[in-house]
Amino acid sequence: MDMSRSVQSDGFVGAGTQRHCDVLVLGSGLAGSSAAMSAARLGARVVILEKQSVTGGSAALSAGMFWTAPSFDAYTTRIPLGDKALGRRLVDDYVDALQEIRDTGIRVASEPQHGIMTYGIGYSLDILALLEHCHSEVIAAGGELIAGASVQKVNMTNGAVSGATVQLNDGSLVEYQSSAIVLATGGFQGSPDELTRHIGPNADRLVLRSNLGSVGDGVRLARACGAGGTKGMSTFYGHLLPYPLEAFKEEHFLPYSQYYSEHAILVNLRGDRFAPETDGDEILNQALVFEPQARGVLIFDHDIRKTYGTSEPFPGLGKIDRFAVAVEAGAQSAIADTLEELIEMVSTWGVDRNNLTRTLEGYIRSVSVGGGTARGITVASSAKAPQTGPFYALSVQPSITFTFGGIRADEMGQVLDHDGRILPGLFAGGADIGGLSNYGYAGGLAPAYITGRWAGASAAKRAAEHLRAAMKG
């Protein structure tokens, strides 16, 4: 049975409105699942609460690439504004975490993929099997996974976590007594008010490329306990999508993503380039939010379409013609034998024809001399100019998969207040932790699994210390 997407029964301590566990984990995505497994391996009785009817969070919808920065220097170069303490431990723990997963017998690629998101290194793995394995270990250790359970409040006693008030799917309220709670609810990308507050009005145009349950529960619960926040609250991960889309469902998340955009030219509705394309699709995706109407146009030639546009960005994802898929999905597109004809067609979309012409001419000139700048925007030495017809244009829009800002936590997964002091009994992992990624992206699955391990181990230690103190008292 695939427990990563199924509902588990509610029977950990039996019926009643008060229940007890050593560690309570909020969220069943990879961070929560890893935290729960880590705590269970250390002897803690664990309950995982998932508010949705299915489990696995956004991890269950991912391509299954377990990757991050290949070194701390690479991390700081790509993410200069990232939390250095978190980044260093993430990189240091990667090899051990990967081996831990291999030891379970779950499929993990034997060879790494390099250059992920332009700089990372990682391995493809069976993400659904990993989620199921984590859940199985927790249940085998006497723990429980409950779907349809929403946490209303984290309870504090004398400044320390003492439990949580939980609403079950039948509407009943249960008071869980626990000295350690792990927040792993997946970020706040599904919260319109939080996105508008931190990103601005164009956040309303972001397409949600995520599970529907990550609406900032972890951040709100932590704030109510006195937790501090982080930098990078306006930064996030996502990929450029075609515009418009007739429909956008979970099965569209991967095939509609325009991973190859770093090899194209991206302009806004004024016909201006606004970011170096070679920065990578996830960076362009963020930059587009702040352009007019959060809309852009990708321009590329036949060579790019037939190579990068149809290549497999991650093992197991499959080779598809992403331009053709976008057109079929209803996106605005154009094909022409010459760039001049393409510009004329794009101008009918409201893009200034003369300005777009100057932009493309400047870009082509800069490429011809080995890079530099074109109209104030960097052109990398590796950039290629469109030269092999036919030529293509595709309207695109930004999406959001998870947020980078969030709860202030240390490299042990302990939640901190605004003054940097530990909030006893409160821990966080995955996208609920803020600052590990900040505009630059350190990965999704690997940071989730690794930070979940930190939080789970720390939570189990806290629970054990609390039990020993209670026995002495």
Look at the domain 3-232+402-472 and name its fold. FAD/NAD(P)-binding domain (3.50.50)
Question: How does pLDDT run along the chain (473 residues), one tens digit per residue?
Answer: 333 444 444 444 444 589 999 999 999 999 999 999 999 999 999 999 999 999 999 999 999 999 999 999 999 999 999 999 999 999 999 999 999 999 999 999 999 999 999 999 999 999 999 999 999 999 999 999 999 999 999 999 999 999 999 999 889 999 999 999 999 999 999 999 999 999 999 999 999 999 999 999 999 999 999 999 999 999 999 999 999 999 999 999 999 999 999 999 999 999 999 999 999 999 999 999 999 999 999 999 999 999 999 998 877 778 999 999 999 999 999 999 999 999 999 999 999 999 999 999 999 999 999 999 999 999 999 999 999 999 999 999 999 999 999 999 999 999 999 999 999 999 999 999 999 999 999 999 999 999 999 999 999 999 999 888 888 86
Q: What CATH number has the domain spanning 239-397?
A: 3.90.700.10
What residues does each domain of the chain span? 3-232+402-472, 239-397
Which stretches of 128-268 are assigned E, i.e. beta strand? 144-147, 150-157, 160-167, 173-177, 180-183, 207-208, 236-237, 241-242, 265-268
Round to whole Å and give the CA distance between 93 and 87: 10
Which class for 229: exposed (0-12), middle (13-18), buried (19 or more C-beta within 10 A)?
middle
CA count, 13 A, side-chain hemisphere, 203: 20
Contacts of 418 (CB under 8 A, 6+ apart): 226, 227, 228, 229, 408
pTM of the model: 0.94
The domains spanning 3-232+402-472 and 239-397 adopt the same CATH topology: no
Q: What is the CA radius of gyration of the chain?
A: 23
Instruction: Name the residue with tokens 């995505």.
Output: 29
Q: Say if CB 238 and CB 400 are below 8 A apart.
A: yes
Q: Extract the tokens encoding 115.
A: 């250059």
